Amino acid sequence: MELAMACHLRIASERARFGQPEINLGVIPGFGGTQRLLRLAGRSAALELCLTGAQFGAARALELGVVNRVVAADKLDEEIDALATQLATSAPHALAGILDAILTGGDGSIDAGLDYETQVFALCFSTADMREGMQAFLERRKPVFKGA
């Protein structure tokens, strides 16, 4: 669970089980489990799950924000491949900018976050990928991004 929570996006099978059972071993979730669960699921859920060591299923994980999507077990690989393909064919500068704006900008005030977002937008707006994306939109075709 701690490894999954370190990822930006998480897709789970409907059969997945989650938990922070470390309390039952006499230790705490020591690889980001307390801090990431707190940020994903909130203080109340993080306390409950870490203090009790209770297991929970994919539906609750989705409800808590621990996963982004739950799919049928037989569709898991297909869903992961589709998401990976979508991300791999996206504009690299835009992907990095989105991650940076959300992860960095989300740590401060809304005004600071908006200012940071504007700066990242300006950087992306100056790329060849932006021009390719706009041209592809006008030509009603899929863009081919090159990371330039």
Spot the catalytic one: 2, 63, 117, 132.
Answer: 2
pLDDT of residue 104: 87
Burial of 31 (0-12, 13-18, 19+ CB in 10 A): middle
**Span 89-138: which CATH code?**
1.10.12
Catalytic residue check, 2? yes
Task: Give yes or no on whether 2-85 and 89-138 have one common fold.
Answer: no
Interatomic CA distance for residues 54 and 63, integer angstroms: 16
Mean pLDDT of 84-110: 92
CATH superfamily ID and name for 2-85: 2-enoyl-CoA Hydratase; Chain A, domain 1 (3.90.226.10)
pLDDT of residue 26: 95
Interatomic CA distance for residues 118 and 106, integer angstroms: 14
Q: Residue 27 above 90 pLDDT?
A: yes
Spot the catalytic one: 14, 22, 63, 79.
Answer: 22
pLDDT of residue 8: 95
pLDDT of residue 89: 95
Q: Residue 105 above 90 pLDDT?
A: no
Tell me the DSSP string of 43-98: HHHHHHHHHH--EEEHHHHHHHTS-SEEE-GGGHHHHHHHHHHHHHTS-HHHHHHH
Contact 58, 70 (CB under 8 A): yes
Catalytic residue check, 117? no
Mean pLDDT of 56-60: 97
- The ranges assigned to domains in the chain are 2-85, 89-138
pLDDT of residue 106: 80
pLDDT of residue 107: 81
